[in-house]
Structure 1
Amino acid sequence: MRKGRTFVVSGPSGVGKSTVLKALLESRKNLYFSVSATTRDPRPGELDGIHYHFMDVESFRKWIAMDQFLEYAEYVGNFYGTPKKFVDDAMEAGKDVILDIEIQGAIQVCSKRPDTVRIFIAPPSWAELERRLTERGTDSPEKIQKRLLRAKVEFQTAHTYDYFVINDTVENAVGELNAIITAEHCKPQERMEIISGR
């Protein structure tokens, strides 16, 4: 049985990552979407192990000391991180793992696991990104401008990723993500290991 691969997906707020990844997970079997750990309290309706792995601060700090995270960060007084265990278990079971994380987290993951495949999702244009952020109706005009400024900073790191997907439509973006995952499993090393039975 082939071992799974890890795919990091990054992109600016409002680009539609969540929508695209939800459609990808529905279209492709054998995918595991990595659930982050956090020390923040659950919000109404959030379930442990589904939305997040909820942990207390002491336990989270112990996991950091034991190098149990692929990446972690502190944000607004709470810790967030990607536990190694669940990623490794899924890969050993032959599943490909999708990590939806921002650029700094992606750098941490790739420093520990250089074979991680990095995919950057971008909008078809800045005007379209602004339209999507505005239509969400969740942010003030000032906050939208801050998000656009941050998106331009993130965009400057896109060339360091392995693949670049433009989310003009969900269908096209999912098609490209599926093609990337398939292509990664057609690399000679993996195929030769399957044939030789290693």
Structure 2
Amino acid sequence: MVNGSLIVISAPSGAGKSSLVKALIESTANVQVAVSHTTRPPRPGEQDGVHYHFVAKERFQQMVREGAFIEHAQVFDNFYGTAKSSLEDPLQQGIDLILEIDWQGAQQIRTLYPDCISLFIAPPGLEELRKRLRARGQDNEEVIERRMRDAQAEMAHVHEFDYLVINEDFNEALTEIRSLLTTLRLRRQRQVQRHADLMNRLLSS
């Protein structure tokens, strides 16, 4: 079995990360998102076990004590974490796995999985980001300004990532992410494993 690639994707709130990942999953075979745990309440349309595992803070803290997470962090007033099983099982089945986490979690994942690929999605500008946050209609102005401050702090870590996509045009950004996934699937080691019989025939004397 050929192991899948682990792709860590981070972005400031409002940059369009979730929409891009959703479109990628819907249009590309053999790729899925690792479902993280969070203590924040579900947003309209979100389903438990599909978008996140929604748990109480007490349960989350218990999982931390039990060592269930490979990474966890506090973002705003809520906690997010990635369980070990949500990564290792799909990767061993050859599925390309996307992990949507903030820069703090990305640092922890890179330490544990040094072969992972990291991608940062940035907005085309701060005013456009503010416009998108307002258009979502989920936060008041105080929260939006807090998200703007946090966005700038997050973008200061862009140099830690392998790849950068600017989400100015949604379709163009999606094409760029698809291209990255294709490149990962064409890596020599992965192709040789996938086509082992063919390579043995081609290289046999």
Distance of aligned partners of 1:140 and 1:66 in 2 relative to their CA distance in 1, 3 Å threshold: closer
* Residue 159 (structure 2) aligns with: 159
* Residue 119 (structure 2) aligns with: 119
How far apart, CA to CA, are the structure 2 residues paired with 1:92 and 1:158? 29
TM-score by length of 1: 0.85
Q: Percent identity?
A: 42
* Residue 182 (structure 2) aligns with: 182
Query: Alpha-carbon deviations, 1:80-138, whole Å to 9, x = none?
Result: 31111122111112111111111111111111111111100011122211221222233
Q: Structure 1: which amino acid aligns with 2:175?
A: G
* Residue 11 (structure 2) aligns with: 11
Please list every run of 5 or more consecutive structure 1 residues that lacks an aligned counterpart in the other structure: none
- Once structures 1 and 2 are overlaid, which stretch shifts more, 32-41 or 177-186? 32-41
Q: Structure 2: which amino acid aligns with 1:102?
A: D
Taking the TM superposition and a 5 Å limit, the aligned residue runs for 1:35-114 are 35-38=35-38, 47-55=47-55, 60-61=60-61, 63-74=63-74, 79-114=79-114
How far apart, CA to CA, are the structure 1 residues paired with 2:177 and 2:140? 32
Residue 47 of structure 1, CA deviation: 4.3
Distance of aligned partners of 1:79 and 1:153 in 2 relative to their CA distance in 1, 3 Å threshold: closer
Distance of aligned partners of 1:109 and 1:142 in 2 relative to their CA distance in 1, 3 Å threshold: same
How far apart, CA to CA, are the structure 1 residues paired with 2:132 and 2:43? 25
Distance of aligned partners of 1:81 and 1:90 in 2 relative to their CA distance in 1, 3 Å threshold: same
Q: Structure 2: which amino acid aligns with 1:50?
A: V
Residue 38 of structure 1, CA deviation: 3.6
Distance of aligned partners of 1:169 and 1:86 in 2 relative to their CA distance in 1, 3 Å threshold: same
CA RMSD, aligned part only?
2.6
Please list every run of 5 or more consecutive structure 2 residues that lacks an aligned counterpart in the other structure: 198-205
* Residue 25 (structure 1) aligns with: 25
Q: Structure 2: which amino acid aligns with 1:103?
A: W
SS in 2 for 1:133: helix
Query: Alpha-carbon deviations, 1:26-47, whole Å to 9, x = none?
Result: 1101112111124567788764
How far apart, CA to CA, are the structure 1 residues paired with 2:80 and 2:73? 6
Q: Structure 2: which amino acid aligns with 1:105?
A: G
Residue 61 of structure 1, CA deviation: 4.8
SS in 2 for 1:138: coil
How far apart, CA to CA, are the structure 2 residues paired with 1:65 and 1:167? 38
TM-score by length of 2: 0.82
Q: Structure 2: which amino acid aligns with 1:163?
A: Y
* Residue 143 (structure 1) aligns with: 143
How many residues align? The count is 197
How far apart, CA to CA, are the structure 2 residues paired with 1:36 and 1:100? 8
